[in-house]
Amino acid sequence: MSYDGLENTHNSRRMLKRGGNTFDRVLSNLDKLSTKTDINISLRMNVDDSNADIDNFADAMLKKDCIFDAQ
């Protein structure tokens, strides 16, 4: 799974055809998947000059109860 930065940046780059918040939708689907299966899910953040705020992305994921191993 990949994100394009924090919520506002990700949502501005990855839009649903009919609009809507893709950041939370992906996170919700990951949560559903993780509660129904025993698999590891990897998150990746696509980084460029305009969204290289990795520390705040990690903080946002922790606030949304994501547990991860930064590599």
Predicted confidence at residue 30, as pLDDT, reads 80
**Which residue from 46, 34, 40 is spatially nearest to 2, judged by alpha carbons?**
46
**70 or 48: which leads in pLDDT:** 48
- Distance (Å) of CA 28 to CA 52, 58, 60: 24, 17, 14
- Distance (Å) of CA 68 to CA 16, 40, 61: 26, 10, 9
* Residue 67 pLDDT class (50, 70, 90 cuts): low
Q: Give the mean pLDDT of the chain.
A: 79
Task: Write the pLDDT tens digit of every residue in 14-47.
Answer: 888 888 889 888 888 888 887 787 777 777 788 8
- pTM for the model stands at 0.67
Q: At which residue do the structure tokens 């980084």 appear?
A: 47
